[in-house]
Chains A and B, each alone.
Chain A
């Protein structure tokens, strides 16, 4: 504020903006309230509940007691950590699940599909993409049911195909439940990676590939030397996103219910069982907190990558 001899009484300088700060705050309020109640508050509340022994029924439903880190100690108790049906087992299982179905399955399959789509005729591209995307957008319950029918031991389509090819039929849901959900999740989510890489490849000027064609490069060489390096940033983004989503996914529940004998009990399903079948909210909250911390680590990496890209 300059001591301008022509000026009247000193006034606060408010810079012009298309929306005043006051109107802006009003515009933000409805969304702000909803997000505060259903996203921000749960974040803090779940931490709080995890330090209590709250349950749904009984004495500790009305008067939950503060138990400090007891819930966490139970979860990470070395004596039971690796037992099937306990948290440690679930966590390890989920990690294997994420590595197999997301990092390897979805990402590689998505990459392969995207690369293929660059060169196959348009009609084939459209048909293949339709099926891949259908797997992704159809409601999860419908997909669960479709796979339930697909894998049926007696009449399911898969067994029909296998016996038709002379291979033995199997009761996959019972015998290889982990691999079933891995394939299931890969199948379900590959579309996202495919579309992301597709658009990444499309943004490479065609002349780069044409120059390589003229120089006599094979498809693998073009992919390895041109395609892959130029979409490196997108690969990292993709990996982080699908890792986060797969880590939190609940959909396999619709196929296996966490079984048989907890062999497909992902952390999200374990959380559900502890909280809503065993009614131990305190313990369930602790599981939730651990999940959120892991999510936080991924989210921070993802957001810092995004910022670095923008700043470039």
Chain B
């Protein structure tokens, strides 16, 4: 396995900048997810690792050696495509064995090896069929088999599960997780599904508009999102973001917003620095940290009930604060709540995230900036 490094890589298509001066490193054996909305540059970045796009500027290294201009066939990588790219005129055995054919392996050997991999992926009984004759989940596994049939240094995945239905997707996801840890493969995985990224990655690179916004472990991204964009993107339902006006008063910080009642927070240098740009901040609190307010709750937010969605294990209760936006809580309640009824949700200041006027996280005391 090998490491992957981007050094100041940019990619422009005419006037449009898909990737803007991105630098990061992936260690040997890491599973890194490139996560972000459509058009953020994650697929372009993946394709540049594969060699299917050439960077406009910057360098790419695999295993410490520069590959920026190397043809894909010389990079010794494997890739699973979003549409599987199974050759319609070849049966599964030929499809899976193709990379070995290209490497000059003998017919017997390569089909034996194809069978080996197919058996592991539980498609060994389908080897005589054509891709059009098998199901979507089986096609996905065939595509994976073709990637695994030869030893590669880095494994690339371009949204491989997005064409599967929900149940199959979960199964496949679990399998990929197991596979990567078992093999110790260096994997780069593109997805727009934050749950997938959280479940699979050792580190996630959250991308937006061609740049990496945060590059950290899933827990770090979840617990300490670097910007409101990341906070909103990761987590389902997303973090509640409430616009607040901050007023420092005697070593403490009072935050005001419609329906919000919160005891003033301790003032810190970081907050002071952020306030220099203006009194508007954003307060974030995740839905699972909200509950129906206990009488002694340190922080509450109140509003008329907008929706109550009973999901089975939990309910998603949403209150509507009009222009100020909605707030969703993930709670267990058996009581019936009526539409429009006033609901008060409570939270602890320990679960509060603060973001400055530009959306950047204000670190709490003791956190690295």
A contact set with B: CB distance below 8 Å: 2, 4, 6-7, 11, 13-16
Is A6's CB under 8 angstroms from B51's CB? no
Please, which residues of chain A bring their CB within 8 A of the CB of B69?
11, 13-14
**Alpha-carbon separation in the docked complex, A282 to B92 (Å):** 64
Q: Which residues 24-57 of B have a CB within 8 angstroms of A?
A: 51-54, 56-57
Q: Quick one: given A4-B8, A6-B7, A11-B69, are A16 and B58 in contact (CB under 8 Å)? A: no
**Alpha-carbon separation in the docked complex, A11 to B56 (Å):** 12
Is B54's CB under 8 angstroms from A15's CB? yes
Is B59's CB under 8 angstroms from A13's CB? no
Is B59's CB under 8 angstroms from A4's CB? yes
A1 CB → nearest B CB, Å: 8
B363 CB → nearest A CB, Å: 32
Please, which residues of chain B bring their CB within 8 A of the CB of A7?
59
**Alpha-carbon separation in the docked complex, A15 to B8 (Å):** 17
Please, which residues of chain A bring their CB within 8 A of the CB of B71?
16
**Alpha-carbon separation in the docked complex, A285 to B225 (Å):** 77
Please, which residues of chain B bring their CB within 8 A of the CB of A13?
54, 56, 69
Residue of B nearest to A12 (CB): B69
Most buried by A among B7, B51, B69: B69
Is B52's CB under 8 angstroms from A16's CB? yes
Please, which residues of chain A bring their CB within 8 A of the CB of B56?
13
Please, which residues of chain A bring their CB within 8 A of the CB of B53?
15-16
Q: Which residues 273-309 of B have a CB within 8 angstroms of A?
A: none
A–B complex contacts, Cβ < 8 Å, 22 sampled: A2-B57, A2-B58, A4-B8, A4-B57, A4-B58, A4-B59, A6-B7, A6-B59, A7-B59, A13-B54, A13-B56, A13-B69, A14-B54, A14-B69, A15-B53, A15-B54, A16-B51, A16-B52, A16-B53, A16-B54, A16-B71, A16-B72
Please, which residues of chain A bring their CB within 8 A of the CB of B59?
4, 6-7
**Alpha-carbon separation in the docked complex, A15 to B59 (Å):** 14
**Alpha-carbon separation in the docked complex, A259 to B38 (Å):** 68
**Alpha-carbon separation in the docked complex, A11 to B57 (Å):** 11
A3 CB → nearest B CB, Å: 10
A282 CB → nearest B CB, Å: 50
**Alpha-carbon separation in the docked complex, A11 to B54 (Å):** 13
Interface size on B, residues (CB 8 A): 13
Please, which residues of chain B bring their CB within 8 A of the CB of A4?
8, 57-59
B71 CB → nearest A CB, Å: 8
**Alpha-carbon separation in the docked complex, A7 to B58 (Å):** 9
**Alpha-carbon separation in the docked complex, A13 to B30 (Å):** 30
What are the interface flags for B53-84 relative to A under an 8 Å C-beta threshold, 1 for contact and 0 otherwise?
Answer: 11011110000000001011000000000000
**Alpha-carbon separation in the docked complex, A112 to B316 (Å):** 60
A224 CB → nearest B CB, Å: 43
Residue of A nearest to B8 (CB): A4
Please, which residues of chain A bring their CB within 8 A of the CB of B54?
13-16
Residue of A nearest to B57 (CB): A2
Residue of A nearest to B59 (CB): A6
**Alpha-carbon separation in the docked complex, A11 to B8 (Å):** 17
**Alpha-carbon separation in the docked complex, A304 to B56 (Å):** 34
**Alpha-carbon separation in the docked complex, A2 to B7 (Å):** 13
Please, which residues of chain B bring their CB within 8 A of the CB of A14?
54, 69
**Alpha-carbon separation in the docked complex, A6 to B65 (Å):** 12
What are the interface flags for B238-264 relative to A under an 8 Å C-beta threshold, 1 for contact and 0 otherwise?
Answer: 000000000000000000000000000
Please, which residues of chain A bring their CB within 8 A of the CB of B7?
6
**Alpha-carbon separation in the docked complex, A11 to B70 (Å):** 13
**Alpha-carbon separation in the docked complex, A11 to B59 (Å):** 12
Please, which residues of chain B bring their CB within 8 A of the CB of A11?
69
**Alpha-carbon separation in the docked complex, A4 to B21 (Å):** 12
A200 CB → nearest B CB, Å: 30
Please, which residues of chain B bring their CB within 8 A of the CB of A2?
8, 57-58
**Alpha-carbon separation in the docked complex, A7 to B52 (Å):** 21
**Alpha-carbon separation in the docked complex, A15 to B47 (Å):** 12
A18 CB → nearest B CB, Å: 9
**Alpha-carbon separation in the docked complex, A16 to B71 (Å):** 8
Residue of B nearest to A8 (CB): B66
Residue of A nearest to B71 (CB): A16
**Alpha-carbon separation in the docked complex, A221 to B46 (Å):** 55
Residue of B nearest to A1 (CB): B57
**Alpha-carbon separation in the docked complex, A16 to B56 (Å):** 11
Given contacts A6-B59, A14-B54, A15-B54, 20 further A-B contacts (CB under 8 A): A2-B8, A2-B57, A2-B58, A4-B8, A4-B57, A4-B58, A4-B59, A7-B59, A11-B69, A13-B54, A13-B56, A13-B69, A14-B69, A15-B53, A16-B51, A16-B52, A16-B53, A16-B54, A16-B71, A16-B72
Please, which residues of chain B bring their CB within 8 A of the CB of A6?
7, 59
Residue of B nearest to A11 (CB): B69
**Alpha-carbon separation in the docked complex, A6 to B59 (Å):** 9
Residue of A nearest to B13 (CB): A15
**Alpha-carbon separation in the docked complex, A298 to B107 (Å):** 57
**Alpha-carbon separation in the docked complex, A237 to B145 (Å):** 48
What 7 A-B pairs have minimum CB-CB distances, sorted nearest first? A15-B54, A16-B54, A2-B57, A16-B52, A16-B53, A16-B51, A13-B54
B11 CB → nearest A CB, Å: 10
**Alpha-carbon separation in the docked complex, A11 to B68 (Å):** 11
Residue of B nearest to A16 (CB): B54
Please, which residues of chain B bring their CB within 8 A of the CB of A16?
51-54, 71-72
**Alpha-carbon separation in the docked complex, A260 to B158 (Å):** 71
Residue of A nearest to B70 (CB): A16
Residue of B nearest to A7 (CB): B59
**Alpha-carbon separation in the docked complex, A55 to B99 (Å):** 64
**Alpha-carbon separation in the docked complex, A16 to B54 (Å):** 6
B279 CB → nearest A CB, Å: 41
**Alpha-carbon separation in the docked complex, A185 to B7 (Å):** 68
